[in-house]
Structures are given as structure tokens and as C-alpha cells.
Structure 1
Amino acid sequence: MSKMLYKVSFLNHGKVYELYARRVASGDLWGFVDVAELVFDVREGVVVDPTEEQLRSEFADTRVLHLPMQSVLRVEQVERRGPAAIRDAATGEQVVTPFPLPAKPR
């Protein structure tokens, strides 16, 4: 039997973050949800999802996220991992962070 996988959606600075984790529990800190063992796509290749890369770098050194209960929108137990995403809280559209373009020569 494989380890359980959870999709966690939470509010962060006016955006909805969707991450995948192996462990979700009510925290030792009252009013917080602990999210641990974050799962990111480990594929290496030509096609890279900029949102996934941004989330991976933002949470690179994170062992446990202590999320306030009020910011957690949804916790789902899922069969397989989908793409991690950052969405606009008002519209629900995915926020795409473009790759930086080279500066124009003057």
C-alpha cells in the first residue's frame, strides 16, 4: 500500500495555493494545521512549469507548514498527484509567473 497523498488548498497573500503533501494533521499549536512532507514534481526536462518551480523554491527548506485554520480552504485525500498551482482568490484563474525575459539593449 502506498503512502497517503493529500491536496491542500489554502489562502496566502490574496492567492490560493494548492500543494500536495504526505502528512496533514491538526497541529501542536492550537488553531493551526500542520502540513508536512511536501511533494513536488521531480521531472527534469525541457518543459518546466514555472508555477511549480516557484512553489518548489518558496518551500524548498520547509519541513512543516503551520497553516492557520482560517486560511485552509480544503484538504483532499487523492489517488495521484496533479500540478501544484497558485490561483487568484477572486477569479480562481491560475496565476502564471512568466520566465524573465532578457533585457533589451539600449
Structure 2
Amino acid sequence: MQKSIYRVAFLNQDKVYEVYCRHVYQSDMYGFIEIEELIFGEKSQLLVDPSEEKLQNEFSGVKRSFIPMHSIIRIDEVDKGGASKISDSKVSSIAPFPVAPPKGN
């Protein structure tokens, strides 16, 4: 039986992160999605993708990652993993989470 692989795209500091993992589920912490067992490309590849290497370094030693639900762009179940990447966010229609306006004195 083949294990499922998920491609998760989410916003983080005005960048779009696209990662592959084995498990995605709603967290016990309200408003978060959990991803576990991140999958990265083989180290033996001739070409090294700098953004995938940066992601691999950023997530090294991470057992589980909690992503705010409002940051999730898309979650897909895929047949096989691909190269994880970081790209610039070109989506201008995403508004920040609403906060209370400052009170005037």
C-alpha cells in the first residue's frame, strides 16, 4: 500500500512556500493545520535547487509544523513528491487578518 503524499502551499512573510509531506491534518490548536514528515529531494542530484536547500535547512530538525489556517493557499494529494520551493507572493488580493483599529485619544 502506497503512502499518500501532499503538496501544501502557504504564505509565510510575503513568500509562498510549497512543501511536500506525508501527513496533513487539523491541529488540536484552534486555527492551525499540522504537517508532518516533510519530503525533500535526493541529496545525490547533480543540480541543487537553492530554494529547496533553504527550505531543507529551515525545516531541519522539525518534527511537526503548525501553519495558521488563513495562510494556507492550497493542499493537494499527489502521486509523487516534487521539488519544494519558495517564491515571491504575487497575490495582492490577500488581506491581512483584521485587527481592531487604534483608539484615538
- Shorter chain as denominator, the TM-score bin is 0.7 to 0.9
Structure 1 residues without counterparts, runs of 5 or longer:
92-106
The equivalent of 2:57 in structure 1 is 57
- Which deviates the most, 80-89 or 27-36? 80-89
Partner of 1:75: 75
Consecutive unaligned residues of structure 2, counting only runs of 5 or more, are 92-105
> How many equivalent residue pairs?
91
Q: Deviations over 1:18-47 (max 9, x none)?
A: 000000000010110000110001232432
Deviations 1:52-99 (A, max 9, x none): 1111000001111100000011000000111111111116xxxxxxxx
Task: Give the 3-state SS of the residue equivalent to 1:48 in structure 2.
Answer: coil
Identity of counterpart residues, as a percentage? 40
- Structure 1 runs of 4+ aligned residues shifted over 3 Å read none
**TM-score after normalising by structure 1:** 0.81
Give the TM-score taking structure 2 as reference length.
0.82
Q: Structure 2: how far apart are the matches of 1:45 and 1:18? A: 20
RMSD: 1.2
Q: State the secondary structure of the residue aligned to 1:60.
A: coil
Q: Which residue of the partner structure matches residue 95 of structure 2?
A: none
